Amino acid sequence: MITIVAVGLVFVLLAFVRASISSWLLAMMVIVPIVAIQASISETALQIVYLALFLFVVFFGIPFLRRTVISRAMLKVFRKILPQISATEQEAIDAGTVWWDGELFSGNPNWHKLHSYPKCGLSDTEQAFLDVEVEQLCAMLDDWDITHNRADLPPKVWQFIKDKGFFGMIIPKAYGGLEFSAQAHSAVVSKIASRSGTAAVTVMVPNSLGPAELLLHYGSDEQKNNYLPRLAKGLDVPCFALTGPFAGSDAGAIPDVGVVGYGEFNGQKNVLGICITWEKRYITLAPAATLLGLAFKLYDPERLLGGEESRGITLALIPTDTAGVKIGRRHFPLNSAFLNGPTQGEAVFIPMEYLIGGTNRIGQGWRMLMECLAAGRSISLPASSIGGMKLAARTSGAYGRVRKQFKVPVGKFEGVEEALARIGGHTYMVDAARQFTALAIDLHEKPSVISAIIKYHATERGRIVINDAMDVHGGKGICMGPDNYLARFYQQMPIGITVEGANILTRTLMIFGQGAIRSHPYVLKEIAATRDENQQRALKNFDEAVFAHISFALSNAARSLVFGISQGYGMPIDAAPEVKRYYQQLTRYSAAFALSSDIAMAVLGGSLKRREKLSARLGDVLSQLYLCSATLKRFADQGCPVEDLPLLHWAMQDALYKIEQAFAGVAQNFPNVLARFVLRTLIFPVGQRLMPPSDELGHQVASLLMQPGSVRDRLTAGMYLGGADEQDAVCALEAALLSTLACEPLQALIEQARKDKTIKFLGELPSIVAARDAGIISPEQALQLERDYALRRKVIMVDDFAPEELRVKK
């Protein structure tokens, strides 16, 4: 009993501190003698134990001896067993920065740091642009006309976008751009996406990974002065070509080749330049582009530039009127009308000045792309997804309340409540993560791991939300036409899931695959030490990193066990009572995640890259930890509104349950039996205890979506509502919701009159007239009910067409 108590006290103590290797050696000096004495071993055996303990403490506790005897041998082994990392993998790992993901990998997140980040928000100028120019643009958009009739934006919309600077949101004012924050960029795209996916993509692409972004970071002064003002004013339409038929997710394998040589350009002979041949596809805005960004592999067989023959991936900026450039044809991705198509070039000669950043940037193309991709992927796709999710949330709640079957609003059926709860909870969490991630960009972070998390979950949860919204709307959702506000979003959702890193690969290879190395506090340092050719420095750095890593892992093992037993209770967390429990649970699971990551890397080594399902589950844990962090920050930054608690509770409980399930999947499927036992024992010492959100909580969330008020407005803030034009489908639905709630007491009077046989039921409209004539309702109330009927009928009805209207136009 004494042994158990002693060991338990030591573990509890070490669970609450960031223990060093010295702390663990001190703990051993306490625990081992107690265990030896309690075991009643002989005096000789006891002396052997003490001698072994002494030697262990000396060799591990004295840095010089440890480095000389232990670390030197370990370094040799590590150099042999560490997996080879390709050049493109290394550049992807090196690109970007570590932000809040580093705290989640620490096993003990600093929640004060989370809330010390600035609140999300826009400047007055940015908010005014959102309220005026973006509102005007949305009012100009007829998505049915755009997608069905034109397969393009109308010319006046294109011109408005250019004239008002939508293409120059990320370009500094010094070059004629708007110089908006990432949060404003995200808000603009999100609002437009709630109206038209085609318009949102058209606006977001020039402000995402492309010529403007690349020029800002890597362009020469001459290139910036030449191109950025033209891009800001819309005089040039940009696109960027990376993906080709034989290089999709493995973009580093691009076969497009440029060869350094002399050629003729613009009538001038013997110009040093590059002859490029390429074939690209899926290039957004390519059919209308005047400026083509291009990624290719550069070769210098005659070594005209000096150095190696193979110079690596390089980026160029090519006017599309250059001889040999082919653009204009279009792809047709899932009936979406945004311009997207292939581009080819056969032996196109360009001068060296067309290289982005000039010759100094030769071979740096992949790193340049990875660094810019972190910013673009953090903003564009999450923003476009949340725009559609807010549209789905607001309209599904309203439709569920207005549409009745069996005299009951369909949203009150429990099956529909489940769908509405998912819509509300996912929208609340994704919007929190969208804003939090955009904030990171504004803080000059380049969060490569976080960008993969938010891209994946914004689009995946967007798919869940739109599927649920279609189920809520039933037949209303599946009949295409001007009054269908969901179908195009439903059709186009797989596009976001596919682009900028297909979601399957993002989940299985990128989130944890990069995060385990990039965001871990010690792994990158250990890898760097193994590659350092300075042996003395390598040994010193390796020793410091590896033994800090060992103590880090032991501390997280202690934390996982102790907090697993206590279920996180007892942690000193300074937070509101309504949410304190969530911080405790996240801290517990952060420790378990750090421990699981270390066990996976230690046991599986290089083969972990091939254990994609295992990597995906660990990535799921990291993702949920990040999403929960963003959700808690949102709640705190908005002043902890009590009315929003059902949304917060649903989102958090759903995510925590998924964390537990992911951990269970890791433990169950880990290929090493001993590691499986250790993981399950340390993470779930008292078993799995969490449950998904309750039916009652789902009912509360569904009710909030169906009730006009501050909660519903906050949840869908920033989407386009369309003013007061009741001919617009969304506006009519909003009006119908308010009218339904206002008229239900009057309808109850008429229903009671029918039951009392004061009036006969002759249909809804004749019954209103009869009730008015019988004095049950006033003439004004009768007009109110007739308007209510007209509104409900409009939002329930679906579009129909004459056969010739649906024939393909020739």
Q: Which residues are catalytic?
A: 500
Return d(Cα 336, Cα 214) in angstroms, integer.
Answer: 27
* 645 phi and psi angles, rounded to 5 deg: -55, -40
Return d(Cα 177, Cα 229) in angstroms, integer.
Answer: 7
Number of CB atoms found within 10 A of residue 742's CB = 12
Q: Write down the H helix ranges in 443-534.
A: 448-473, 475-478, 487-498, 503-505, 511-518, 523-531
The encoded tokens of residue 122 equal 């826009």
- Of residues 434, 489, 482, the one with CA closest to residue 467: 489
The encoded tokens of residue 558 equal 């202690």
Return d(Cα 727, Cα 299) in angstroms, integer.
Answer: 60
User: How many contiguous H segments (helices) and E segments (strands) does the chain have?
Assistant: 34, 9
Q: What residues does 299 pair with on adjacent strands?
A: 259, 310
Give SS3 for 513: helix
Return d(Cα 152, Cα 286) in angstroms, integer.
Answer: 13
Categorise residue 335: left if φ over 0, alpha if ψ from -120 to 50, beta otherwise. Answer: left
Distances (CA, A) of 222 to 228, 238, 240, 350, 365: 10, 18, 20, 17, 19
The encoded tokens of residue 707 equal 């009730």
Are 702 and 417 in contact by the 8 Å Cβ rule? The answer is: yes
- Of residues 333, 390, 471, the one with CA closest to residue 712: 390
Number of CB atoms found within 10 A of residue 73's CB = 10
The encoded tokens of residue 605 equal 């080594």
Q: Is the dihedral of CA 699, 703, 705, 709 positive or negative?
A: negative
Return d(Cα 641, Cα 652) in angstroms, integer.
Answer: 16
Return d(Cα 625, Cα 519) in angstroms, integer.
Answer: 14
Are 117 and 633 in contact by the 8 Å Cβ rule? The answer is: yes
- Of residues 617, 633, 624, 620, the one with CA closest to residue 653: 624
- Of residues 95, 650, 687, the one with CA closest to residue 367: 95
* Residues 6 or more apart whose Cβ sits within 8 Å of residue 369: 209, 242, 251, 295, 313, 315
Give SS3 for 355: strand
Are 429 and 655 in contact by the 8 Å Cβ rule? The answer is: yes
The encoded tokens of residue 649 equal 């509770």
Return d(Cα 341, Cα 285) in angstroms, integer.
Answer: 7
Return d(Cα 180, Cα 122) in angstroms, integer.
Answer: 9
Angle at 285 between CA 342 and CA 373, to 5 degrees: 95
